[in-house]
Structure 1
Amino acid sequence: MSPFSVYLNKLRIRHDLRQTQMAELMGYEQGYISALELGTKNPSNEEFLAKLVQIFEMTSQEQAELAIAVKESQLRYTLPRDVPPEAFRFCSQLWEKIDRLPQTQWQAMLALLSLEVPPKEGRLLSLKTKETEAQM
C-alpha cells in the first residue's frame, strides 16, 4: 500500500464510513475508492483531493499530511539530467531489489537521506551574489 492509500483508509475509518458511503459523498464509484485504498491507483486529479479537503473539513495540518502522502505515493520519477552516473546506478539497483529489502535497510537508507545536504555550488554562489548586492 502507498502512503496515500494508508492515509485515505485511516481518514475513512476515522469518519466511520464504508467505501460505498465515502464514494457516494464524494461523487465517485466505490471501486475507485477501493482501488485508491489498495494502492492500485493514485488520485487522478486535483478535484478528488479538493473534494477530500472540503467534505472532511480538513485542517491545515491534515492538508499538509495529505500533500505529503500524495507526494510520497508517486509511481514514477524522472531523474534530473545533471545528476552523476552514481545516481542512475543507485536507482537501478534500488529498483532491482525494492520488493525484497528488509525493514532495517529501509530505515538505514531513510536515515541517510534525512541528513543535511549542502546546497549546490551554483546556488551558493547566487546567494552570495544576492547578499553582496543587498549590501551595496
Structure 2
Amino acid sequence: MTPFGQALRNLRARKGVTQSEMARAIGVSPAYLSALEHGRRGRPSFDFLQRVAGYFNIIWDEAEDLFLLAEASHPRIVLDTAGLGPKYTAFANRLAREIRTLPSDVVDEMEKLLDKASIRR
C-alpha cells in the first residue's frame, strides 16, 4: 500500500463511502480505485486528484496534503545514480533488493538519517 492509497482508504472510511460508490461518482472503475489503494497503480493524475477533492468537498489544506501524498506514492521508483560514485549505485541496488525485508523501525531510522542529511545541505 502507498501513502496515498492509505489516505484514500481512510478518507472513504471516514466519509462512509464504498469503492463502488466513489468510482461511479468520479468516473473510474472500482478496480482502479482498489489498485490505487493497494499500491498496484502509479501516481494518480492531477485530474483524478481534483475529482477526489471535489467529491469529498475537501478544503485547501487537506487537498494539498492529499496531492503531496500522491506525489510521494509511486510504487515503482527508478533511482538514477549516473554520475555518482560506485558506492551510491551499489547502495541503491542493495536497497532495491532488501527493502521488502526491512522492519518498520529500520525504515524510520533511515528516514531520520535522511532528514538529518537534508538539514546539513
TM-score interval, smaller chain: 0.7 to 0.9
Report if aligned partners of 2:79, 2:92 keep a CA contact under 8 Å in 1: no
User: What is the alpha-carbon distance in structure 1 between the residues aligned to residue 92 and residue 43 of structure 2?
Assistant: 25
1:83 corresponding residue in structure 2 = 84
Unaligned 5+ segments in structure 2 are: none
- Match for 1:117 among 93, 114, 120? 120
Report if aligned partners of 2:44, 2:70 keep a CA contact under 8 Å in 1: no
When the two chains are superposed, the root-mean-square deviation of aligned CA atoms in Å is 1.7
Using the size of structure 2 for normalisation, the TM-score is 0.86
Report if aligned partners of 2:43, 2:71 keep a CA contact under 8 Å in 1: no
Deviations 1:26-62 (A, max 9, x none): 1111111111111111344221111112222222221
Unaligned 5+ segments in structure 1 are: 119-136
Using the size of structure 1 for normalisation, the TM-score is 0.77
Q: Residues 52 and 6 from structure 1, CA distance in 2 versus in 1: closer, same or farther, beyond 3 angstroms?
A: same
User: What is the alpha-carbon distance in structure 1 between the residues aligned to residue 106 and residue 44 of structure 2?
Assistant: 31
Q: Give the 4+ runs in structure 1 shifted more than 3 A.
A: 80-84
Larger Rg: 1
Shift of 1:80: 5.6
Shift of 1:12: 0.8
